[in-house]
Structure 1
Amino acid sequence: MKVLRVALLLVAGLVCVGPVLADGPALPEATVTRIQSLEGTLDRHPARVIEQARRALGELSSSRQDQWVQALYWQLMARAFAAQGKAEQAAEYFNRARNNDVAPIALRRNWLREAARWTLAAGDTARGRALFERWAGQSTPSAQDLWTLVELAVQARDWSGASHWLSRATQAGIAMTSERSALAQAIYQHSGDAGNAQRLVQRDIDRTPDDPMVWKRGVALYQQMNQPGRAAALWEAGWRRGVLSGAEALETRIRLHLAGGTPARAAEYLQQALKEGILPSDEAHLRQLADAWTAARARHQALTAWQSLSEHTRAPVDWSQMGELAYQWGQWDLVVTAMTRARAAGLEHVGRSWLLQAVAESTAGRHQQALAALDKAVSAGNGEIRQQALAWRKALTPSKSGAGSA
């Protein structure tokens, strides 16, 4: 946001002295001539205007007429300081002028506006914003003025205030550029106005359907609003239209489906990309595929993916994870294969692997192999694992009966 730059650019329309002299108390012709003469030299000699105005102020009395003259000199000095780029002094003298209750209301309102803008230009955004909002409450601000108030509220992280001024700016017909639309979406998001945020997303897409940044901004908004399903659906729509494409966009598509609760679709896209060589069959992608099929509870595909990953990494933890899943899903032969490979790869704590293998062997009807595995589990296990192995050992002994669980 470039709030202060905008504020400076909008310092315009300063009211000249001449047309407003008649609105206040009548002044002597010599005073009017002197003030108008100073105004005529303001652009060329601002320092001289300040010096002569100060000298003239020292000659004034406390009469109502002189108070009116004082306000005029103050606003001349403010404009002279502004011409020199001295924002703080310009703000100070506009404030002096607008606090003079002899000056006409309309003129004081204009000076309040300029005091606000030059206070902003001086870097005092909190006071500048307060003055600007006071002016807006007394006047009919333009759409651009209202948008400046939107930006000031956002800068202060006042999302409620930003939403208020955004509503007024929209009603006033502010032109919604891409940058403004992005800011408006952020305001709606932070203020909890999901309906308007989504409306803006759709409007931007309808206006510029071939701009990938518009689609990405919409997806980011849904993510920030904790709506991963909508984010995935929007990215999918952009992909199908051909607006979002390429390997990077494909990876984002996959991640969004995983986060959005459609892991099977993510797995399908990833598996096809790996098959076609669009994405490399490295550890990260193989693990992502295994996780996706597991989340989708597609048993055959998940176990196949875990086996491919384990063969790629040769990591005992991956073989062990494959064995755990195979055990949960009743794939007994794969339990034996996976746990055997896990131990061969250097699995540190082998008690549970022997116990699960023993249960798998027993369930598959291989009694002797089950007993041998249970002996290993009793020997290698400790605590609960050892107790469960002993229970299974008793259950499989002909002279005893009972059962355990793993």
Structure 2
Amino acid sequence: MKTMMQTRPLCLLAWLLLASPALAAPTLSGARIDDLQGLERRLGQSEFSAVRELALSQAERLAGGNASDRWARALYLQLAASAESRLDDPLAAADHLAEARGIHGVERAQADRWLRQEAGLRLQGDQAGRARALLGDWFQRHGGTSEDHWLMAQLLAAESEWEAAARWVNRALEADATPGQARATLAATVLQRAGDESAALAVIERRLAAANGDPETWRRAAGLAQRLGDPGRAAAIWEAGWRRGVLAGSDDLRQRIRLHLAGGTPARAAELLTSSLEEQALADDLDNRRLLARAWQAARDHERALSAWRDVAERSGAGDDWLQLGELAYGWGEWDLAGEALVKAQALGELEAEAWLSSLPEQNGDEETGGTKENGPAAEA
């Protein structure tokens, strides 16, 4: 995680030197200011190790001095912290800032600025608990920006305190309604873990338009919609991702078909699967043929559903597939096909087929019975 110290490396020290009267900080000699600014320039020239060593040496030499020495010592420690940060040692940088803000005479406002930076460095150094305590202390005196609210949410999430993290996420979203990908992922995760899946889905959906190249965002949004009991919304999200080219490949195509089937558009699922099999975009295997049969069945297209189930049964030679075909034909009043399929199912060991066969109407009684028997087993619609 980038810290303010990393992204704005040298601004703070120069500002402190220029603004010291307003901060009621002790006056520094011209030589001291020149030395501090010289180290600042060397920091800007990437002389990180040299700046760290010189700044720490000066800070140690000034320990126990007068008010001016203590203020200079704090500034040297701030420079050392900047150097440590660039040397990828965030915890060492945090320790220097902690020491600087604890020096007697450092103004509260300045100490709080260093405290806020230290919290970010502690988090970067995997000290989430200490970072959270620091930021909690800082929030007692500051409202903070959305940046600060996101950080607090991240700290709480690191400790799996989802409900507390969700409160900070919601505060952050008030000022940052369309966060970047990383923060949107954090927000969605926190809200989902806190039990507010609707809000989590809303965050992800706001990111979809900007997530053209991120298929996982689209998959997650569809998955959340499914868990919320809205398969139609899931299918619509997946379809949009497919049309944008974000979702692609056989696995995503198969999921697209399954979501249409679950989302109340089974005829569309069947049409997609039919064309996919014809174009060899999906394997022409039994799993896909069964999926096609279920799709036409859900769409209540009698002719295509029965034809698809016959194809499955003939390919598999399995008794349960013939039984499925027989039950479906029975329910739709296709007696000849029902009898043929049930006989084959019975021959293949499906015991249920006998009950269905015994309830088939006599052929010469079709007109009188209307094609059913009063005491036959319940047929599948």
Picking from 36, 40, 50, the partner of 1:39 is 36
TM-superposed CA distance for 1:174, in Å, is 8.3
In the other structure, the counterpart of 2:6 is 9
Q: Following the alignment from structure 2 to structure 1, what is the Cα–Cα distance between the partners of residues 281 and 96? A: 67
Q: Following the alignment from structure 1 to structure 2, what is the Cα–Cα distance between the partners of residues 212 and 96? A: 43
Q: Following the alignment from structure 1 to structure 2, what is the Cα–Cα distance between the partners of residues 173 and 326? A: 57
When normalised by structure 2's length, the TM-score is 0.72
Letter in 1 for 2:100: A
- What does the per-residue CA deviation read over 1:271-326, in whole Å, with 9 as the maximum and x for residues that have no partner? 35445655443211111012223334444433322111000111122112222333
Q: Following the alignment from structure 1 to structure 2, what is the Cα–Cα distance between the partners of residues 179 and 118? A: 18
Q: Following the alignment from structure 1 to structure 2, what is the Cα–Cα distance between the partners of residues 8 and 25? A: 22
Q: Following the alignment from structure 2 to structure 1, what is the Cα–Cα distance between the partners of residues 336 and 111? A: 89
In the other structure, the counterpart of 1:319 is 322
Q: Say whether the 8 Å CA contact 2:78–2:96 is kept in structure 1.
A: yes
Q: Following the alignment from structure 2 to structure 1, what is the Cα–Cα distance between the partners of residues 148 and 71? A: 25
Picking from 276, 288, 292, the partner of 1:289 is 292
Q: Following the alignment from structure 1 to structure 2, what is the Cα–Cα distance between the partners of residues 183 and 69? A: 44
Q: Following the alignment from structure 2 to structure 1, what is the Cα–Cα distance between the partners of residues 96 and 336? A: 88
Letter in 1 for 2:6: L
Q: Say whether the 8 Å CA contact 1:270–1:289 is kept in structure 2.
A: yes
Q: Does 1:335 align with 2:332?
A: no
In the other structure, the counterpart of 1:269 is 272
TM-superposed CA distance for 1:249, in Å, is 5.2
When normalised by structure 1's length, the TM-score is 0.68
In the other structure, the counterpart of 2:46 is none
Q: Does 1:113 align with 2:122?
A: no
SS of equivalent to 2:76 = helix
SS of equivalent to 1:132 = helix
TM-superposed CA distance for 1:238, in Å, is 5.6
Matches within 5 A, 1:310-389: 310-344=313-347, 346-347=348-349, 350-360=350-360, 363-364=362-363
In the other structure, the counterpart of 2:232 is 229
- Largest Rg, 1 or 2: 1
Count of aligned residue pairs for this structure pair:
352
1:10–1:220 Cα change, 3 Å: farther
SS of equivalent to 1:15 = helix
SS of equivalent to 2:105 = coil
In the other structure, the counterpart of 2:56 is 50
What RMSD, in angstroms, separates the aligned Cα atoms of the two structures?
4.1
Picking from 161, 180, 205, the partner of 1:201 is 205
| Between 291-300 and 258-267, the greater mean CA deviation after superposition | 291-300
SS of equivalent to 1:14 = helix
Letter in 2 for 1:18: L
Q: Say whether the 8 Å CA contact 2:257–2:269 is kept in structure 1.
A: yes
Q: Following the alignment from structure 1 to structure 2, what is the Cα–Cα distance between the partners of residues 212 and 124? A: 30
SS of equivalent to 1:138 = coil
Q: Following the alignment from structure 2 to structure 1, what is the Cα–Cα distance between the partners of residues 294 and 237? A: 23
In the other structure, the counterpart of 2:76 is 76
Q: Say whether the 8 Å CA contact 1:303–1:322 is kept in structure 2.
A: yes
Q: Say whether the 8 Å CA contact 1:332–1:363 is kept in structure 2.
A: no
- What does the per-residue CA deviation read over 1:7-28, in whole Å, with 9 as the maximum and x for residues that have no partner? 663464433553355444656x
In the other structure, the counterpart of 2:368 is none
Q: Following the alignment from structure 2 to structure 1, what is the Cα–Cα distance between the partners of residues 59 and 267? A: 79
- What does the per-residue CA deviation read over 1:218-239, in whole Å, with 9 as the maximum and x for residues that have no partner? 4345345442211112334566
Q: Following the alignment from structure 1 to structure 2, what is the Cα–Cα distance between the partners of residues 225 and 169? A: 24
Matches within 5 A, 1:74-153: 74-84=74-84, 85=87, 86-100=89-103, 102-135=105-138, 138-139=141-142, 141=144, 144-153=147-156
Letter in 2 for 1:352: E
TM-superposed CA distance for 1:47, in Å, is 1.9
Q: Following the alignment from structure 2 to structure 1, what is the Cα–Cα distance between the partners of residues 74 and 277? A: 74
Q: Following the alignment from structure 2 to structure 1, what is the Cα–Cα distance between the partners of residues 204 and 52? A: 47
Q: Say whether the 8 Å CA contact 2:77–2:100 is kept in structure 1.
A: no
Q: Say whether the 8 Å CA contact 1:271–1:289 is kept in structure 2.
A: yes
Q: Following the alignment from structure 1 to structure 2, what is the Cα–Cα distance between the partners of residues 49 and 351? A: 88
TM-superposed CA distance for 1:357, in Å, is 1.7
Letter in 2 for 1:77: L
In the other structure, the counterpart of 2:370 is none
Q: Say whether the 8 Å CA contact 2:131–2:155 is kept in structure 1.
A: no
1:331–1:243 Cα change, 3 Å: same
Instruction: Identify unmatched segments of 5+ residues in structure 2.
Output: 44-49, 366-373
Q: Following the alignment from structure 1 to structure 2, what is the Cα–Cα distance between the partners of residues 227 and 123? A: 38
Q: Say whether the 8 Å CA contact 1:35–1:73 is kept in structure 2.
A: no
- What does the per-residue CA deviation read over 1:14-63, in whole Å, with 9 as the maximum and x for residues that have no partner? 33553355444656x7xx46754663564544324323432432x44xxx
In the other structure, the counterpart of 1:370 is none
Q: Following the alignment from structure 1 to structure 2, what is the Cα–Cα distance between the partners of residues 177 and 117? A: 19
Percent identity of paired positions between Structure 1 and Structure 2: 31
Instruction: Identify unmatched segments of 5+ residues in structure 1.
Output: 367-402
1:144–1:351 Cα change, 3 Å: closer
In the other structure, the counterpart of 1:302 is 305
1:175–1:268 Cα change, 3 Å: closer
In the other structure, the counterpart of 1:251 is 254
Letter in 1 for 2:232: G
Q: Following the alignment from structure 1 to structure 2, what is the Cα–Cα distance between the partners of residues 307 and 216? A: 34
